Structure 1
Amino acid sequence: MTKHNQPPRIPDAACAPLSAGVLMLAVGLFGLAAHQPLLFPSLGLAAALQVETPDQASARPQISVAGHLIGLLAGALPASGCLARQTRPASCPRTS
């Protein structure tokens, strides 16, 4: 313990990278256990935003989750339309 019975503090320059690394490690291990690729580029950006500026409104976890869900829907809806059609438009890839 340091002066005034406070635990030692991690320096600010090391806290953000360590926090983001721990978050990425946790998600990576979860993906490894689930046999699913759960790490993707925007997740790193969201983690960095949350550990660097946690008091900003844009760093709230609800905002990150909502943004990722919107991105998922934006990609999944056109893909599901391509897969569900009998006759494929030129923009849908062939799967055979």
Structure 2
Amino acid sequence: MHIKFLLLRLFFTRKAATRNKIMLRIGAHFIKRGAGVTVGQAIPFKAMKHTKARTMFIDNLYYNFKTNTVTHTMSKNPVEGFTPKRKKTFSI
């Protein structure tokens, strides 16, 4: 969906929405389209000091209007409700 149609739909279908709510909806739209990751996704992460890779989880995604970028934060612990459960694998 093009941004023009998104803006028109937001302005005309929701007349009671304030400017902040409209900006939040636009930011959510950009996060869904622009981010290559989702909240709770496991990502292998290797720091320079550590020898083995560590699994980090996407904790928060937000859209920054000033820099026009999608930013994220990472955590060491899985996010409850968003991280899918790991499948058990058996080796023979």
Task: Determine if the TM-score, normalized by the shorter chain, exceeds 0.5.
Answer: no
Structure number with bigger Rg: 1
Considering Cα pairs closer than 8 Å and 6+ residues apart, tell me whether 1 or 2 has the greater RCO: 2
Bigger fraction of residues in helix = 1
TM-score by length of 1: 0.28
TM-score (norm: length of structure 2): 0.29
